[in-house]
Amino acid sequence: PKMYIAYGTTLLKQCTTNLHVDVSDAVNVLIDVSEPTAEGNEQATRYRKEEVNLINEILARQEPSVRAHCAQNPPGALWHIYAASDREKISAFLAKEFTNNPIMFKPIHDQNFYLDDTLRQRLRDEEGIVGWEIVQGLGDAIFIPAGAPHQVQNLNSCIKAAEDFVSPENVEECVKLTEEFRHLTASHRNREDKLQIKNIIYHSVKDAIAGCQLQVQLSPSADPVS
């Protein structure tokens, strides 16, 4: 498991984690949220009031159940998650926006960009791409599928715990991403095959076959598993 600890950046409108993809599935659990106090400091009080107003604006566009949950538990982080099938379109959109050489430029894998309100609206209008906006409250778990572009902005100071895993449904996406990462530059931080998805597939199949063989040995009369 990994732990993420970061201050809130609501008023700065900056990200905590830039837009990127993970080579495997992941689950992220918010285990602690801390709302800053500004007692006795006029400037800090004014700053916090502006932060709260922005947080309320974000909550106002959420579902009633989310607003009710955050009324009891302070909101921790704002997530934007996009479908893995939209990854290439989003990458091309950013490459067109920020460089004239999309072949040498990997905007999502380089993890250098955060899609702010303006870019998200343009992505919707120009490319027809709409992601999911999720407010993560205390105790909430966010599941991120392999290959799904996502970004995070902490609304308050947070501690999160995350675990990577490989689901059967996304094995194909894991293999595809592993091949994508192999073509990155030698110095790129994502080039190394850390997941070893082919080994995972091999040993999973090996264990499954061994389990089937054992079942046949224990129950000779049972039909063999094809």
Return the beta strands (E) in the chain as ranges: 2-6, 17-20, 25-34, 75-81, 132-137, 141-144, 150-154, 157-165
Q: What is the pTM (predicted TM-score) of this model?
A: 0.83
Q: Beta partners for 202?
A: none
**What is the pLDDT, as a whole number, of residue 148?**
97
**What is the pLDDT, as a whole number, of residue 176?**
92
**What is the pLDDT, as a whole number, of residue 39?**
64
**What is the pLDDT, as a whole number, of residue 226?**
53
**What is the pLDDT, as a whole number, of residue 118?**
92
Distance CA(206)–CA(9), nearest Å, equals: 47
Q: How far apart are the first and last CA of the chain?
A: 36
Distance CA(159)–CA(129), nearest Å, equals: 30
Percent of the chain with pLDDT over 90: 46
Interval 114-165: pLDDT, tens? 998 899 999 999 999 999 999 999 999 999 999 999 999 988 889 999 999 9
Residue 45 has pLDDT above 80, yes or no: no
Number of other residues whose CB lies within 10 A of the CB of residue 23: 22
Number of other residues whose CB lies within 10 A of the CB of residue 203: 11
